[in-house]
Homo-oligomer: A and B are copies of this chain.
Amino acid sequence: VTTTEQRPLRIGEVAERVGVTTRTIRYYEELGLLARGEGRSKGAHRTYPDADVTRLAELIRLRDLLGLSLDELIAVAEAEDARAALRDQWYGDPTDDERASIVKQGFEIVRQQLALVNSRREKLDEFAADLEQRLERLAELRKELERGES
């Protein structure tokens, strides 16, 4: 989900873009998965900048494709936050060693996610192979029928 606009979105628009309901977004906010809009007065409308939408979309992707629980998503989000904090330091005045450690952290996180994704991919590949084998067997049966061998 990519957004080019700059106008902050309302909860319904976010929900539609990301493919969830507004209830889900409110629930995630409750759990601390989304920055709970510190400066929002009670009863006021929620508003989401592009960055929040991208982040939510990423979390939903992890949930749907890898089946992560919300506890696991919270862990991911915290790791992402830590990484974002580091990235901000990047533009401060870090030594080369500090920069190297920032990059290393990034590697760690992305590699872990990639490992999870690849393990899922392998399982799905197996599943697809099984199904294709079944299709072949059916195709053979059909051929025999067409030849009139009963």
Contacts and interface: CB of A to CB of B under 8 A. Distances in A.
Interface of A: 61, 64-65, 67, 96, 99-100, 103, 106-107, 110-111, 113-114, 117-118, 120-121, 123-125, 127-128, 131-132, 134-135, 138, 141-142, 145, 148, 150
The 5 closest A-B pairs by CB, nearest first: A114-B131, A117-B128, A110-B134, A106-B138, A121-B124
Contact of A65 (B61, B103, B127): B127
Most chain B CB atoms below 10 A, which of A111, A117, A132, A145: A117
Q: Quick one: copies of this chain in the complex? A: 2
A127 B132 CA distance: 24
Given A65-B127, A67-B67, A124-B124, A145 B114 contact: no
Contacts of A141: 103
Contacts of A111: 135
Contact of A138 (B103, B118, B120, B131): B103
